Amino acid sequence: MKIILHKNLMSLLQNQGMLIVLLLLGLFLSFATLADQVPNDAEAGTVLVKTWPMNKVPNPVVIVVIRDLDEDLLFANAVVKQSLVLDGIVVEIVRGNPSDARSCLEKLANQGIKLDAIVCNHYTAGWSVFDRLNEKFPALGNPIIIEPASYRWPNFLKRDNLVNIMNQIAVIAILAVGMTFVILTGGIDLSVGALIAFSSVLVARLIRDYGGGVEAQVPALILCCITTIIVCAMMGAFSGIMVACFSIPSFITTLAMMLIAGGTAYLISEGQSIDRIPEQFMWLGRGTTFFRIPIAVVLTGSIYLLAHLAMTQTIFGRYVYAVGGNCEAARLSGVSVVTVLILVYTLSGAFAGLGGIIMASQLKSGAPTYGHMYELYVIAAVVVGGTSLAGGEGKITGTLVGALILAVIQNGMNLLGFDSNTQKCILGALLLLAILLDKLKGRIAR
Amino acid sequence: MEEEIVRPIKLLKMARIVKTFPGVKALRGVNLELAKGEMLALLGENGAGKSTLIKILAGAFNQDEGEICLNGKPIKIKSPADSRNLGIAVIHQEFALVQGLSACENIFLANPLQQLFFIHKKREFKKAAEILNKLGADFNPLTLCKYLSVAQLQIVEIAKALSEKAAILVLDEPTAALTPREAERLFALLDQLKKEGMGIIYVSHRLEEVFKISDRMQVLRDGSEVVTVAKENTTQQEIIHWMVGRELPPNSFHNKCVGKKVILSAVGLEKNRKVKGVNLEILEGEILGLTGLVGSGRTEVARLLAGVDIPDRGEIRFEGEVIKMRSVRCGINKGIFLLTEDRKNLGLFLGRPVIENFSIAALFHFTFLGILNKLAELNAFYSHRKSMAIKLSDPQVRIGSLSGGNQQKVLLARWLERKGKVYLLDEPTRGVDVGAKEEIHSLLRKLAQEGNAILLISSELPEVLAISDRILVMHEGQIKGEITNVSQATQEQIMELAMQ
């Protein structure tokens, strides 16, 4: 029994080691960022009214006091809406600073209105105006101050933060899919970072010059995006042809392609950022879909699902593993090694093109500085995900975990308030640690 | 009973060695003794535990239980360096030589002769030349290893052992890649070393040579010692019986189903001065043996016929039609398959599961619009596993963990699943144990009976004689002789043709 348990634990560690690291990181950050949360949104307003102690009072009379901020207004509106449902009467919404609240209270006192409650949020509840109310304004009766209950919850685990993590990593994660294919065949693609810059300025330029600028319509936008992806795919294919047909090492080929793509990006954009882009274009990078999940995250998820199926359930996946595992044996088995190699570099280029478009959409402009050093983060994500640089070993799901680990580490350091240079050092150290763990795990298994 | 002779202390004594790998008990308390100036042959099928025992001696593995004594003193071998320092030299099938360095530099790689902090090149050269000369080497010690033949590399390995004053020499399948003449020279050399007092452990699948050169034989089976006998007290049949635990049917087969139709023919094939105008024909249902010394161009001919290499001149005809071989895939699409001699580098995907290794050449049998039907793939594999008696429990294990015989069977299954017309088999039984060898032979016969054409390349003359319908002998890139009446042919007759 004990042995079986031990065995299962070992195989779990072996197969899902990085997933466990990801979960542990999440757990650590959850504790490290535990903080008092003061809800101040529409949902907080609704819940507040539903649970307030006024339910025994028929037609309670309340005022709502908020700061002059948009987010506070959402809260106040929700309170008003919900009190109507429950037959409450909101006589006034006070929006502003403590003196506004004071004058409102004075006005109500003069009119002789009896208040049952004053609804505040966490910030307004602390105003000194509301101290010793029954002494200052006895005419108001004995109103109570109500604010949404605060609770302890990690900043890391807040919904917005989690969505943010995935949104931030979307571009790198998408590129990492193509990179996984390339690395699985035993190669490497250094050009993806430069291709991001190239793709972002190309799509921006196409929209500005041919799509109609800020008035561009959706079909034109789609056409521009598709053209950009095709051009990037062709640049990838070119690298692939160099690697497959002329046996030039992929490191050199894609290094050259990185310079070419990076230089062309500056030429196309004339060194400037191009931002004459319509609002609709931002749908891809900033838009959300069901449950307020960003489009980019949904897109990344679908790409991973498809890539996972391609690697495990199709002939393409088998051939990629075969070429990476033993290129010559694959050739002698009748696998068209040249086709497989060209295809993986083409896909890597296409994913880089898509990544550049998403980035242009997120930042509402295209600039030749985008994607700087991204190839290294992408390679890091793939390697942390357990793919061997020698080729032939690795999984798409591993790469997803690797990308998430990078994102979580970066996000965590932001939450904990490290500056960006410290972040780089820590990221480097953690990368080494992750790979070291992976190696040690392999050694234990042996 | 014989009188107990008081013997001097044994050179090496391994007692009750136990080694367990996850799921396998590789050694179950094996004892081994070796005296000075003695050659012990270690025999057994693949997976019997020979390699594990050798690797413990070489320091690649540590034993779980048991002890090792050298000259009566217990020793601990924790790493390959320990083993070398204790005077144990293990020469594996894959040589541990650096290709880009010279023979001399390789010999002194681990223990350079130094003067202050500099390597004393002159002394190294002198010493290397001395040792190599003693071993009868015919090459300059300054030759880079990549230019040396397998036999010469072997001599470099032995020279390395001598330079380190090794007392025990362990050889794993030393003749697998040697020609008969080179093997003869190696045997003479080993004999000389033996006389000088070196203890030699010799692992081989070739019983004939074992009987020729060893003093005692130890047979292992399933990690246990079956028997240890002196050469004089046993016979080959008996040894095989101990190794496999059952009698094998004698090798005698003659094919009655050779057709008239020429399936594959080649006219005037030339390539890179390694193949000089080769003409050959393979008939329907025929097993054509192609033999000759290593380096005589046999493998190159097979590669040309399969389309792996493109001939400089000459043409290849398949069923009478000239075919242009532009790539391997042209050959494969016609049904011409090559089973390579270099399993590890050219055949297997070592890190991938058995099932993927099996199906790679015939994936389209199991796909619809590029999507795999894994169940169909698995069923196809199971049917081959059954018909070829491949021993394995889970098709998802890495093929690298299988024994040589089973690996070879999976590679054969790869091509059988693809279903071809011509099978070019380059050393199909190299590194395969006796039982599996016999099974592969009967498989080849069955293939021939089904009307396929088979080219069997082998250095093992008894094998060629036993199952070929016709034999071609190559020498220096040309076909120097043909033997049609195989049942009357002898090994000497072939050797004469091969060596001219």
Q: Assess if residue A432 is contained within a domain.
A: yes
Can you give the residue range of the structural domain that contains A87? 42-149
Q: B328 to chain A: which residues are within 8 Å by CB? A: 331-332, 334
CATH number for A428: 1.10.3470
In this structure, the answer to whether residues A104 and A165 fall within a common structural domain is no
| CA dist A243 → A187, A191, A240, A249, B275 (Å) | 9, 13, 5, 6, 30
- What was the pLDDT predicted at A168? 87
A318 shares its domain with A431: yes
A317 shares a domain with A220 = yes
Query: What is the chain B residue with the closest CA to A388?
Result: B351
The continuous run of DSSP H or E covering B126 comes out as helix B121-134
Residues A326, B359: C-beta atoms closer than 8 Å: no
pLDDT band at residue B7, thresholds of 50, 70 and 90? low
CB–CB contact A313 B349 (8 Å): no
From the list B345, B371, B374, the residue facing A328 with the nearest CB is B345
Is residue A264 situated within a structural domain?
Answer: yes
ipTM of the complex, rounded to two decimals: 0.76
Same domain, A198 and A144: no
- Is residue A436, in this structure, part of any structural domain at all? yes
Question: Mean pLDDT over residues B188-211, rounded?
Answer: 87
Subunit contact A318:B328, Cβ cutoff 8 A: no
Structure tokens at B210: 């074992």
Of B443, B445, B424, whose CA–CA distance to B335 is shortest?
Answer: B424
What pLDDT shows up at residue B256?
64
User: Residue B337 pLDDT more than 90?
Assistant: yes
A316 neighbourhood in chain B, CB within 8 Å: 370
This prediction's pTM: 0.76
Contact assignment for B346 to A336 by CB distance below 8 Å = no
Domain closes at, from A149, A169, A199? A149
Pick among B329, B342, B349 to test the A interface (most A CBs inside 10 A)? B349
The pair of structure tokens assigned to B19 is 């080694």
| Whether the Cβ atoms of residue A382 and residue A402 lie closer than 8 Å to each other | yes
Same domain, A292 and A410: yes
User: Which has the higher per-residue pLDDT, A11 or B40?
Assistant: B40
Cα B473 from Cα A409, distance rounded (Å): 67
Taking the Cβ of residue A332 and every Cβ of chain B, the question of whether any pair is shorter than 8 Å is answered with: yes
For residues B358 and B342, is the Cβ–Cβ distance under 8 A? no
Residue A429: partners with Cβ closer than 8 Å, 6 or more residues away:
none
Same domain, A288 and A257: yes
Q: How many H-runs (helices) and E-runs (strands) does chain A carry?
A: 17, 6
d(CA A356, CA A284): 11
Supply B200's token pair: 């030699």
The number of beta carbons lying within 10 Å of the beta carbon of residue A257 is: 25
Within-domain flag for A253: yes
Nearest-angstrom CA–CA distance, B353 and B345: 16
- Mutate one of A15, A332, A340 to test the B interface: name it (highest B CB count within 10 A): A332
Banded pLDDT at B415 (limits 50, 70, 90): very high
* Buried b or exposed e, range B277-313, using 16+ CB within 10 angstroms: ebebbbbbbbbbbbbbbbbbbbbbbbbbbbbbbebee
A204 in the same domain as A291 = yes
Closest residue on chain B to A332 (Cα): B328
A318 and B359 within 8 Å at the Cβ level: the answer is yes
Is B374 in Cβ contact with A322 (below 8 Å)? no
Per-residue buried b or exposed e for A217-254, using 16+ beta carbons within 10 Å of the residue's own CB: eeebbebbbebbbebbbebbbbbbbbbbeeeeebeebb
B414/A329 Cβ within 8 A = no
Nearest CA in chain B to A312: B372
Using a pLDDT cut of 90, give the percent of chain B over it. Answer: 19
The reply to whether A438 falls in a domain is: yes
* B167 within 8 A of B10, measured Cβ to Cβ: no
Q: Across the interface, do A315 and B340 touch by the CB < 8 Å criterion?
A: no
Q: Is position A72 within any domain?
A: yes
Q: Is B10 in contact with B35 (CB distance < 8 Å)? A: yes
- Show residues of chain A in contact with B332, CB under 8 Å: 333-334
A405 CA: distance to closest CA in chain B (Å): 26
In chain B, which residues touch A (CB < 8 A)? 306, 308, 328-329, 332-333, 338, 340, 345-352, 356, 359-361, 363-364, 367, 370-372, 374, 414, 418
**Is A392 close to B349, i.e. CB distance below 8 A?**
yes
Could you list the pLDDT tens digit for every one of the 446 residues in chain A? 555 667 666 666 666 778 888 888 889 988 888 888 888 777 888 887 777 776 667 777 888 888 888 778 888 888 888 877 777 777 778 888 888 888 888 888 888 788 888 888 888 888 887 777 777 777 777 788 888 888 888 888 888 888 888 888 999 999 999 999 999 999 999 999 999 999 999 999 999 988 877 788 888 999 999 999 999 999 999 999 999 999 899 999 999 999 999 999 999 999 889 988 888 888 888 888 888 888 999 999 999 999 999 999 999 999 999 999 999 999 999 899 999 999 999 999 999 999 999 999 999 899 999 988 899 999 999 988 888 888 888 899 999 999 999 999 889 888 888 888 888 898 888 778 877 876 776 665 54
The model's confidence at residue B248, banded by pLDDT at 50, 70 and 90, is very low
Residue B445 has pLDDT above 60, yes or no: yes
Structure confidence at residue A210 (pLDDT): 87
Mean pLDDT of B20-29: 75
Cβ contacts (< 8 Å) between A393 and chain B: which residues? 351
Instruction: Please report, as a single letter, which amino acid is at residue A25.
Output: L
Among B338, B359, B363, the residue with its CB nearest the CB of A332 is B338
Minimum-distance CB partner of A393 among B351, B359, B360: B351
- Residue A253 CB partners (closer than 8 Å, separation 6+): A239, A242, A243
Contact present, B339 and B415 (Cβ < 8 Å): yes
Residue B131: the pLDDT is 87
Task: Give domain status of residue A142, yes or no.
Answer: yes
- Residue A234 shares a structural domain with residue A356: yes
Same-domain status, A246 and A143: no
**Strands of B73-75's sheet in order across:** B24-34, B12-21, B65-70, B73-75
Contacts of B23 in chain A (CB under 8 A): none
Helices (H) and strands (E) in chain B, counts: 16, 24
Q: Does A419 lie in the same domain as A283?
A: yes
pLDDT of res. B241? 77
Domains contained in chain B, CATH given: 12-244 (3.40.50.300), 262-499 (3.40.50.300)
| Of the residues A118, A149, A180, the one at which a domain ends | A149
Which of A404, A355, A116 lies closest to A233 in space, CA to CA?
A: A355
Q: Provide the percentage of residues in chain B whose pLDDT is more than 70.
A: 94
Rg (CA), chain B: 24
Out of A186-195, B93-102, B176-185, B286-295, pick the least confident.
B176-185
One domain for residues A183 and A81:
no
Same domain, A124 and A198: no
Highest mean pLDDT among A104-108, A245-249, B25-29, B272-276: A245-249
| Closest partner CB to A325 (pick from B346, B349, B374) | B349
Measured CA to CA, the distance from residue A128 to residue A132 in angstroms comes to 9
**Any idea what the Cα angle at residue B464 is, between residues B463 and B470, rounded to 5°?**
150
Q: Around B197, how many Cα atoms within 13 Å sit in the side-chain half-sphere?
A: 5
CATH number of A62's domain: 3.40.50.2300
Mean pLDDT, chain B, rounded, equals 85
Q: Tell which of A105, A130, A149 closes a domain.
A: A149
Q: Which residues of B touch A335 (CB under 8 A)?
A: 360
CB contact under 8 A, A326 and B345: yes
Q: CB B133: neighbour CB atoms within 10 A?
A: 12
Q: What total of structural domains would you count in chain A?
A: 2
Nearest residue, CB atoms, A318 vs list B329, B360, B418: B360
Residue of A nearest to B309 (CA): A332
Residue A164 lies in a domain: yes
